[in-house]
Amino acid sequence: MRNNKLKPLVIGNITIKHPLALAPMAGVTDLPYRLLCKEQGAGMMCTEMVSAKGLYYGNRKSEPLMATDPKEIPVAIQIFGSDPDIMGQMAAKVNDGRFQMIDINMGCPVPKIVNNGDGSALMKNPKLAGKVIKAVVDAVDIPVTVKIRKGFNDDLVNAPEMAQVAQENGAAAIAVHGRTREQYYSGTADWSIIRKVKEAVDIPVIGNGDITYAKDVLRMQEETGCDGFMIGRRAKGNPWIFKEILHFFETGEELPRPSLEEVVAMMLRHGQMMIDFKGEYIGVREMRKHVAWYTFGFPGAAKLREKVNHTETYEDLEELLQTYLKANPERD
């Protein structure tokens, strides 16, 4: 048995038993998927990112992104923007009891976000970033966290400085992705920057980037000393990753990967949850990408992805997946 079990993550007045966070990902971490990951052991949940300006101007697309369920508590809402006044006002607006934390996105690399001065663009302007953080902290009575990257590019690697700015302006925790904005998701995450951030601040630090297996969490823990672990792309189609990590730290053993039968059962349950939440038309169509993620690496997955793009009802999805399962009774 292992002795170095994962310690709870304490953010402000909130204690999170399992220090494993599901990274907020646009178009992925909606309410149904968060609930599936929560069941598998994810401790910290976060909505898809919500535009503060969208909230300010009453954009109808914002409200569905903020749907929550008591079963996922504690859950944070992630907001983005670079206008301190609007960010503060909208933070106050969403501080209505649904969320236990507010996370500020200062790491998104998407051009339309960055070109508007939001997301990782704030890495280039620590002074403005500090004003944004302070405005949000002053507007709410729940912990505020900040998600950043290593830096904007190789010429501006300033995560430790940004973390200090966040701490000085009242942030209760900081999450660090070990890549620059310029890297997007290419190359290898630099975990040494997470260590430097941990050494630069007293607030909890959550490491993010290249956590694929349970042993990666142990390695990140040893190399960085970080307090929490955030999993993003490796959780796509893989809610089991949280269960696998917890099992490894409790027993020292690695769980076998889910069987195709288990994966198909999860996809069908996920599909039903999506339909219940978004309606059949949208739910089935959004499940198409999830099916591709769930079945990555299985035999015949490419053909399945092609076929799933023509599904329009739950019955279509169920018939396709059951047929696929019968044709592939065992995993390679």
Dist. CA 236–CA 181, nearest whole Å: 21
CB-CB neighbours of 213 under 10 Å: 14
Dist. CA 305–CA 289, nearest whole Å: 8
> Phi and psi dihedrals of 76, rounded to 5?
-105, 150
Residues sharing a CB contact under 8 Å with residue 256, sequence separation 6 or more, in sequence order: none
SS3 207: strand
CB-side neighbour CA atoms (13 Å) of 277: 24
CA angle centred on 21, ends 16 and 27, rounded to 5°: 135
Length of the chain: 332
- DSSP-assigned letter for residue 76: E
- Helix orientation angle between 159-168 and 191-200, rounded to the nearest 10 degrees: 30
Catalytic residues: 108
| The amino acid at 26 | A
> Phi and psi dihedrals of 101, rounded to 5?
-150, 160
The alpha carbon of residue 111 and the mean position of all alpha carbons in its chain are separated, in whole angstroms, by 19
